[in-house]
Chain A
Amino acid sequence: DAGITQSPRHKVTETGTPVTLRCHQTENHRYMYWYRQDPGHGLRLIHYSYGVKDTDKGEVSDGYSVSRSKTEDFLLTLESATSSQTSVYFCAISEAREYGYTFGSGTRLTVV
């Protein structure tokens, strides 16, 4: 009954390769978000979506792109992975901020 799943859970990739992370929800929530978590920085917003095909940049969007072709799926793409993108990535969904966000379990990405 997770409501939100992320795949893969772990990935190791080489510098310069493209990587796509997937977020899937079954809650039919309007808003979806991608965050990265790094020590000393907490969670920082990469991109968000407020509807199908409606996306916008967050505070750390450089080097990332997103797509949302269906309500339930939100993809995060690293066009050419760099070591600075080694992080734990969290997807979140929300119907309204008053209810808080529901986060996925995270994807640990290592770029070597």
Chain B
Amino acid sequence: DQQVKQNSPSLSVQEGRISILNCDYTNSMFDYFLWYKKYPAEGPTFLISISSIKDKNEDGRFTVFLNKSAKHLSLHIVPSQPGDSAVYFCAASYNNNDMRFGAGTRLTVKP
């Protein structure tokens, strides 16, 4: 039972354009959502998060949007850079003990 879903295994965008990565969840108890970035042969690194009491959180080029009624969140990267090429994982939790991850989306930013 995959409670966090990333339906796009891959995404390719041109440098300088916007990248939009999507994530859906099924468990209405989730109240904290995070995005992680992963390069090959490394562990995931925390990128940005959002609490369920907000609908937007911004950090530099990265913005996360949360639509609770649709159980959907998205990560926007503007402008996209070649160094952003990585696998992005969406994650959700309702306590400190159990964070659920999506399957990941591989982003490729072309120069």
A interface vs B, CB < 8 Å?
31, 33, 35, 40-45, 48, 50, 56, 58-59, 90, 92, 94, 96-106
State the Cβ distance, B27 to closest chain A Cβ, in Å: 12
Q: Is the CB of B102 within 8 A of A42?
A: yes
**Given that A100-B34, A103-B44 are contacting pairs, would A45 and B96 also be in contact in the complex, using a CB cutoff of 8 Å?**
no
**Given that A94-B96, A97-B93 are contacting pairs, would A106 and B103 also be in contact in the complex, using a CB cutoff of 8 Å?**
no
**Given that A42-B101, A105-B41 are contacting pairs, would A97 and B32 also be in contact in the complex, using a CB cutoff of 8 Å?**
yes
A106 CA to B45 CA, complexed, in Å: 12
**Which 4 A-B pairs have CB atoms at the shortest separation, nearest pair first?**
A100-B46, A103-B43, A43-B101, A42-B103
Q: Is the CB of A97 within 8 A of B96?
A: yes
Chain A residue at smallest Cβ distance from B97: A48
A-B contact count (CB 8 A): 65
- Chain B residues with Cβ below 8 Å from A102 are 46
B interface vs A, CB < 8 Å?
2, 4, 6, 32, 34, 36, 41-46, 49, 51, 89, 91, 93, 95-104
Q: Is the CB of B36 within 8 A of A45?
A: no
Q: Is the CB of B43 within 8 A of A106?
A: yes
- Chain A residues with Cβ below 8 Å from B42 are 105-106
A33 CA to B44 CA, complexed, in Å: 13
State the Cβ distance, A36 to closest chain B Cβ, in Å: 11
A45-B98, A45-B100, A50-B97 known; 19 new pairs, CB 8 Å cut-off, are A33-B99, A35-B101, A41-B2, A42-B6, A42-B102, A42-B104, A43-B44, A48-B97, A59-B98, A96-B96, A97-B32, A97-B93, A98-B49, A99-B46, A100-B49, A103-B44, A105-B41, A105-B42, A106-B43
Q: Is the CB of B45 within 8 A of A103?
A: yes
Chain A residue at smallest Cβ distance from B4: A42
- Chain A residues with Cβ below 8 Å from B102 are 42
Q: Is the CB of A45 within 8 A of B99?
A: yes
- Chain A residues with Cβ below 8 Å from B41 are 105-106
